[in-house]
Amino acid sequence: MKRNHELMRNLLITLFCMCALTIQGNPVDDLIERVAPGASRHFKTVLQPSERDFFELSQQGKRVCIKGNSWVNIASGLNWYLKYYAGIHLTWNNMKVKAPVTWPTVPKVERRETDLTWRYNFNYCTFSYSMAFWDWERWEQEIDWMALHGVNMPLAVVGAEVAWRNMLMKLGYSKDEVNKFIAGPAFLAWWEMNNLEGWGGPLPDAWYAQQEALQKRILKREKELGMSPVLPGYCGMMPHDAKAKLGLDVTDGGTWNGYTRPANLSATDPKFDHIADLYYRELTRLYGKADYYSMDPFHESPDDASVDYAEAGRKLLAAMKRANGKSNWVIQGWMENPRPQMIEALPEGDIIILDLFSECRPMFGAPSIWQRKEGYGRHNWLFCMLENFGANVGLHGRMDQLVHNFKLAASPSTPYQNARKHLKGIGFTMEGSENNPIMFELMSELVWRANDLVSAERDRRDFKEGWTRNYVKARYGIDNPKIQEAWQLLIGSIYNCPVGNNQQGPHESIFNGRPSLDNFQVKSWSKMRNYYDPNVTLRAAQLMTSVADRYRGNNNFEYDLVDIVRQAMDDQARLQYLRTIADYKGFDRTAFSADSARFLNMLLLQDKLLGTRQEFRLGTRIEQARSLSTTLEEKNLYEWNARVQITTWGNRTCANEGGLRDYAHKEWQGLLRDFYFMRWHTYLDALSKQMTAHAQPDFDALGAGSYAGKTADELYELALPAAPQIDWYALEEPWTKQHNVYTSAPEGNSVDVAKEVMRFLSQSRSCLLDVK
């Protein structure tokens, strides 16, 4: 019966798409014209009903024929053809290409199938870290990227604040009170996840109108392509003063990293159903009904004995079903969530759980501190790749773990049979997008490569290395042995973070951290560990640079060249930092002067390198933010949001005691030069002045007693003056309030500056540039 139901679902989707074709035209043809103008006449697309999701490539005369049972699957087939037949790789840095004069033919039929029919995209955080200031033009590109990569269940929370504003005002809140509750543009994600109120606001009226219109265009395009958007549902959130204001029975949300959290409306409150229904009416009036609603009650909240989690789950589900009886609840599997006592009370088939960090800490049954031995019980779930935290810049991936864990979850012979039974698809759940395209390409293909994975079961490395060779040829449209060698080095090191290392995202740049004598990780919770040899990234950069002149103008190559050389500079700068601090602790003023100057020059040269690509320029984000408004006041508010998010993140309390400072750090041109350089120059100058003020370590101050028996080295370090104490927030906050101009326009040539960086790194420590 269940199989027949799924077959009927697929048939209905196909019939809907075929009807849409006769009315609106072919959305994949339109997509082709956007990414390769003039190319659609070379392709024939055919919708064909099928019990299993599939795409098929063949040749019909002079045209490439792409069949599939949905528009998204046809788009996936198009992407497969572009990569593996035409040598064209479309991704965030390269979403438009010049169509070749002659398109390669498909010599024999290639068909790919999968039973993993749901392919989700986005984390709430993505909407703030990456998309806070996107306009329709940028969103249109993202929707094309999603279709090409098989996404058919995108989270769609743009403009949710409009429904909330309307609902709260109907409940009796004033406009000013609503604006104190809803967060600003760069912080809406954490407001939507019940973490904070008001920070970054108040939102102007124009924002609400603009985002409502944008969301409607997003939803229209996603639905044209056959996607099923996931709208934000009602999870019980209310302003923290809802008890005093409305007399509601609410649970105090407490604080989140220093911020006052919203309250949680008790499921037993007599007004619960009325408020939930009011929310869904407003949401539906604005954006229509959805087949999927996202709700994450109690996100990153401690357990509360006063909360009846089972009843809360039942009430939330019932409210959603009243809005659309056919809808499903999408919930993140993250830390304690979803609470077992809540999902155990919910019926099978009504919820879909996103196993958010499957490539590292899967909760479906593999050993992990988050382990759930029975997976998610009777509930459906998706295998998700988190990959990135805070939209930080850096090469990073867990290739071996990703492939191994996916096989463990998806293989028919897995020891976790209950988890396999309820596995329905995959998800991209990155906090920030537009980075590490190799990992997202691999993840998107796993659902289509089940047979490849089974055949490579005994040697995961062979699969990874073979797949990467094909990826590199597709990405650059060429096959060069030195480039291939560089990528094999990278996938065996920095892109292969090992089991047991649970760090959150890339190996962070030493440039981005608040300076100290023991700098290591940048953000408070990154859990960073050394897991690769920095000489490997240096060698990869050397290999890429050695052939760079041949591939000038190759967009994907130049992007990767800058990114890989940037990583090599980061890794060498970390070693340079250690030398500099060793000079200080050794009280070697001459060496400290030389080494600290070299470190600062490395930072400035990194800024110059990143300035050659708009993807790595602060000006790109600032221009996005300011362009969303026509008034100076609003432009300045949006720019302040953009600046704060990537630096202090919050006010003094939240940045320091809350630990949020630098969580969303970026290695971007402009930010390096004006923000990170300021911090490091201040600190290194303070150390230098301290060494000048003290002719030598003060051994006499040590005396004897508790210091007796210590080694000479230990005594020497104890005799050094205490490191200077600097109020970092006082230095950082003024930059967030500035309005000096940053532009998105690239400066300099990527190949030339990359070669300059490599020459610099090859110099001895005594070969310094002049630091002003």
pLDDT at 769: 37
Instruction: Please tell me the distance from the alpha carbon of residue 553 to that of residue 109, in angstroms, as a whole number.
Output: 34
Whether 483 maps to a domain, the answer reads: no
667 and 743 assigned to the same domain: yes
**Residue 334 bridge partners (DSSP):** 337
Whether 538 maps to a domain, the answer reads: no
pLDDT > 90 fraction of the chain, expressed in percent and rounded: 83
Q: What is the DSSP string of 650-678?
A: S-HHHHTTS--TTTT----BTHIIIIIHH
Which CATH number fits the domain that encloses residue 160?
Answer: 3.20.20.80
Note the pLDDT tens digit of each residue in 463-494. Answer: 999 999 999 999 999 999 999 999 999 999 99
Instruction: Decide which of 432, 457, 482 is a domain's last residue.
Output: 457
The domain total for the chain is 3
Q: Distance from CA of residue 292 to its chain's centroid?
A: 22
Whether 491 maps to a domain, the answer reads: no
The whole-model pTM stands at 0.93
pLDDT at 375: 80
104 and 144 assigned to the same domain: no
Whether 7 maps to a domain, the answer reads: no
Whether 127 maps to a domain, the answer reads: yes
Instruction: Please tell me the distance from the alpha carbon of residue 252 to that of residue 415, in angstroms, as a whole number.
Output: 42
Whether 494 maps to a domain, the answer reads: no
| b/e code 484-518 from CB counts within 10 Å (16+ = b) | bebbbbbbbbbbbbeeeeebbbbbbbbbbbbbeee
Instruction: Please tell me the distance from the alpha carbon of residue 684 to that of residue 621, in angstroms, as a whole number.
Output: 29
92 and 209 assigned to the same domain: no
251 and 109 assigned to the same domain: no
Whether 593 maps to a domain, the answer reads: yes
Residues of the chain with pLDDT under 50: 1-2, 17, 20-23, 765-772
130 and 84 assigned to the same domain: no
Instruction: Please tell me the distance from the alpha carbon of residue 376 to that of residue 138, in angstroms, as a whole number.
Output: 36
611 and 756 assigned to the same domain: yes
- Domain extent, residue 135, equals 118-457
137 and 92 assigned to the same domain: no
558 and 437 assigned to the same domain: no
395 and 333 assigned to the same domain: yes
Whether 498 maps to a domain, the answer reads: no
145 and 226 assigned to the same domain: yes
Instruction: Decide which of 457, 478, 502 is a domain's last residue.
Output: 457
84 and 180 assigned to the same domain: no
95 and 150 assigned to the same domain: no
Instruction: Decide which of 414, 434, 457 is a domain's last residue.
Output: 457
Please write down the HEC assignment for all residues of 564-632: HHHHHHHHHHHHHHHHHHHHHHCCCHHHHHHHHHHHHHHHHHHHHHHCCCHHHEHHHHHHHHHHCCCCH
Which CATH number fits the domain that encloses residue 740?
Answer: 1.20.120.670
Note the pLDDT tens digit of each residue in 206-237. Answer: 999 999 999 999 999 999 999 999 999 999 99
